[in-house]
Amino acid sequence: MEIFIKKLTSVDIERQLELPNDTRIEDLPPFHGSRDIEFPIKFGHDGVEVDVHCSRIAGRLAFTRGWVEITRNLRLNAGDVVALRKEDNGRYKMTVRSGSA
C-alpha cells in the first residue's frame, strides 16, 4: 500500500517535495522526537537508492536533501505523479507515472 501519492508541482521539482496531508505517517521511519529523519528510497528500473531527508517544516512533512537528486535522475516534470510505498522487506520504493502519458 502506498504511503502517499502526489502530482508534482514546479516547486516539488526545484526545491522540496511537500508530502500530502493524507500521507500515512505511521509507515515512515519514526522521528523519535526529532525534527527530521533520513532514510534510503529506491527508485528507477535499476534500483538506485538515495538517502532522503524528511523534515517537519511548520507542521508539514517535506522531503528535502536527496529529493532533488531523485528528480534529476528520473527527469521528473511538473504534472508527473509519484508514489512512495514500503516494501515487504521494510525498504522504501518510489514509482513514477508520467503526467504526459
| pLDDT computed for residue 101 by the predictor | 56
Q: Which domain holds residue 58?
A: 2-97
The amino acid at residue 71 is T
CA 31 to chain centre: 16
Longest dimension (CA), the chain: 41
pLDDT tens-place string over residues 60-100: 999 999 999 889 888 999 999 999 999 988 899 999 998 77
| CATH number of domain containing 13 | 2.40.330.10
Degrees (nearest 5) of the Cα angle 79, 41, 34?
A: 105
Q: How many domains does the chain have?
A: 1
pTM of the model: 0.88
CB 13 within 8 A of CB 78: yes
